[in-house]
Amino acid sequence: MAMDTVTIVQAEQKHIDLVAPLFDAYRIFYEQPSDLDGAIKYLLKRMSNQESQIFLALRNDPPQPLGFTQLYPSFGSVALGRIWILYDLYVSPEARRQGIGRQLMSHAHQFARDSGALRLELSTARDNKTAQGLYESLGYVRDEEFYHYELSL
């Protein structure tokens, strides 16, 4: 697959049948049960409420979904500005190692810059060395100062 045949688009509701299976596969990667209907409902709600930005990598002619990234808006009260949380990044297994993740990340970076954001933040599993390598190659710095906590509700 040639790199020049890949385009990155901002996903809209008309793209739901392309992005939802990738989102479902992403959740399966993180050991969640498959739930395509739930994925569709979740993504449509994010889109209709303008609660996230989803970018979709497509191979042209015919359109084939290769991967996606999803960003959620946030703010930094200490830094006094907008922050985007890059929460999801997924490339289908057959499209990996072809620069698709890097293209999606580059698109997310430009989107964040254009929106006036101060920074992009992300986290990944400690054993996801492939993703860590990509992020670090793009200039992301692992935070050694703060601990991450969560409370399940």
- Digit-coded pLDDT (tens) for 101-111: 999 999 999 99
The boundaries of the domain holding residue 102 are 3-137
Answer whether residue 89 is part of any domain: yes
pLDDT at 1: 41
Answer whether residue 143 is part of any domain: no
CA–CA dist 137, 134 (Å, integer): 5
CA torsion sign for 150, 72, 94, 97 is: negative
pLDDT at 4: 54
Answer whether residue 144 is part of any domain: no
* % residues pLDDT > 90 (the chain): 78
pLDDT at 2: 45
Per-residue pLDDT of the chain (153 residues; tens, 9 = 90+): 444 589 999 999 999 999 999 999 999 999 999 999 999 999 999 999 999 999 999 998 778 999 999 999 999 999 899 999 999 999 999 999 999 999 999 999 999 999 999 999 999 888 888 888 999 999 999 888 887 788 889
Answer whether residue 149 is part of any domain: no
pLDDT at 3: 47
Q: What are the pLDDT digits (tens) for 55-65?
A: 999 998 778 99
pLDDT at 60: 82
Answer whether residue 85 is part of any domain: yes
Answer whether residue 32 is part of any domain: yes
pLDDT at 5: 85
Answer whether residue 84 is part of any domain: yes
Answer whether residue 90 is part of any domain: yes
Find, among 22, 134, 118, the residue nearest to 70 by Cα: 22
Please report, for the domain that includes residue 91, its CATH number. 3.40.630.30
Detail the DSSP E strand segments found in the chain.
6-10, 53-59, 64-76, 81-91, 119-121
Q: For the chain, what is the domain count?
A: 1
